[in-house]
């Protein structure tokens, strides 16, 4: 990633780091749902959605299409993913299953 691409989107270092951390968290939620959930399709969907939060992918989308995913859409989508994983998806129960498998 060149500095020029980074500056084209006016992304600050903190935004860059938070986006990457959130992308990692969403990817992990997807992986847990793929292997320990009752709906692998949902897990794959969430794992693919995590790509929207990877800063390099954001730059790539901007370069290829000339458009970006609006920040408000990313926020709303992130809230939906967290709600679906933590509330409806019983993520903590799935993590317990995962831990038991590794023991």
Give me 82's structure tokens: 């967290």
Residue 35 has pLDDT above 80, yes or no: yes
Q: What is the pLDDT of residues 78-97, one digit of tens each?
A: 999 999 888 776 778 888 88
In the chain, where are the structural domains located?
Answer: 3-102
Q: What is the mean pLDDT of residues 58-71?
A: 91
| pTM (predicted TM-score) | 0.77
Q: Which residues of 38-73 are buried (b: 16+ CB within 10 A; e: fewer)?
A: eeeebbeebbebbebbbbeebbebeeeeeeeeeeee
């Amino acid at each position: 990633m060149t500095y020029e691409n980074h500056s084209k989107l006016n992304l600050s270092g903190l935004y860059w780091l938070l986006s990457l951390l959130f992308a990692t968290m969403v990817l992990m939620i997807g992986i847990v749902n793929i292997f320990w959930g009752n709906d692998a399709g949902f897990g794959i969907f969430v794992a693919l959605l995590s790509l929207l939060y990877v800063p390099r992918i954001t730059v790539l989308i901007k370069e290829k299409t000339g458009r970006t995913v609006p920040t408000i859409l990313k926020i709303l989508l992130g809230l939906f993913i967290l709600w679906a994983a933590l509330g409806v998806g019983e993520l903590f129960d799935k993590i317990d299953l995962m831990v038991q498998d590794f023991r």
